[in-house]
């Protein structure tokens, strides 16, 4: 019925992938969205909230809620910004930085599993095509 429906098929795939990454990040007490956000903050800090939202392709209110959660966990902190007085910069804490290698390894294991199931070339092709589609829809 939905063989040619982009929405249905991408949403279905997203739910399946969500389960995989949820299991991967569960030992750290993080959801996939929190873990990916923390990984961006660790690699690109300092970031303004708007920059973080843009990088993750989410709205600023969604970013704010995730930032609040990571801040409550003591993994990130906010500080005043010299670049934009309307926003605060987001920085990882020492506790957040300590998770970097573990989060990257956990995510890498899921990617490795997907590559094994799909084949490396197919995996890379699908990711490239999805990024291309996302860019075209902006």
Query: How many C-beta neighbours within 10 Å does residue 43 have?
Result: 12
> What is the residue extent of each domain of the chain?
6-137
Residue 1 has pLDDT above 90, yes or no: no
pLDDT value at residue 100:
97
Helix (H) or strand (E) holding 30, with range, is: none
Q: State the pTM of this model.
A: 0.88
Q: How far apart are CA 59 and CA 75, in angstroms?
A: 21
Q: Is it the case that residue 16 has pLDDT exceeding 80?
A: yes
| Average per-residue pLDDT for the chain | 92
Domain 6-137: which topology? Answer: Arc Repressor Mutant, subunit A (1.10.10)
**93 — pLDDT class (breaks 50, 70, 90):** very high
| Cα angle 96-98-104, degrees, rounded to a multiple of 5 | 90
Band of pLDDT at residue 2, cut at 50, 70 and 90: confident
Show Cβ contacts of residue 42 under 8 Å, excluding neighbours closer than 6 positions: 92, 96, 97, 99, 100
The model's confidence at residue 134, banded by pLDDT at 50, 70 and 90, is confident
Q: Are 37 and 62 in contact (CB under 8 A)?
A: no
59: pLDDT strictly greater than 80: yes
> How high is the pLDDT of residue 87?
79
Helix (H) or strand (E) holding 90: strand 88-92
Q: What percent of the chain has pLDDT over 70?
A: 99
Q: Please check the confidence at residue 23 and state whether its pLDDT lies above 90.
A: yes
Q: What is the pLDDT of residue 86?
A: 80
The predicted pLDDT at position 71 comes to 97
């Amino acid at each position: 019925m939905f063989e040619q429906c982009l929405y249905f098929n991408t949403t279905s795939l997203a739910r399946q992938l969500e389960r995989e990454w949820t299991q991967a990040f569960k030992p750290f007490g993080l959801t996939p969205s929190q873990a990916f956000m923390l990984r961006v903050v660790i690699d690109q800090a300092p970031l303004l909230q708007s920059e973080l939202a843009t990088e993750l392709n989410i709205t600023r209110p969604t970013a704010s809620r995730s930032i609040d959660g990571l801040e409550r966990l003591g993994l990130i902190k906010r500080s005043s910004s010299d670049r934009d007085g309307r926003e605060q910069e987001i920085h990882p804490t020492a506790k957040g930085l300590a998770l970097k290698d573990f989060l990257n390894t956990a995510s890498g294991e899921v990617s490795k599993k997907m590559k094994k199931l799909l084949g490396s070339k197919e995996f890379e092709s699908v990711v490239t095509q999805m990024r291309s589609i996302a860019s075209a829809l902006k």
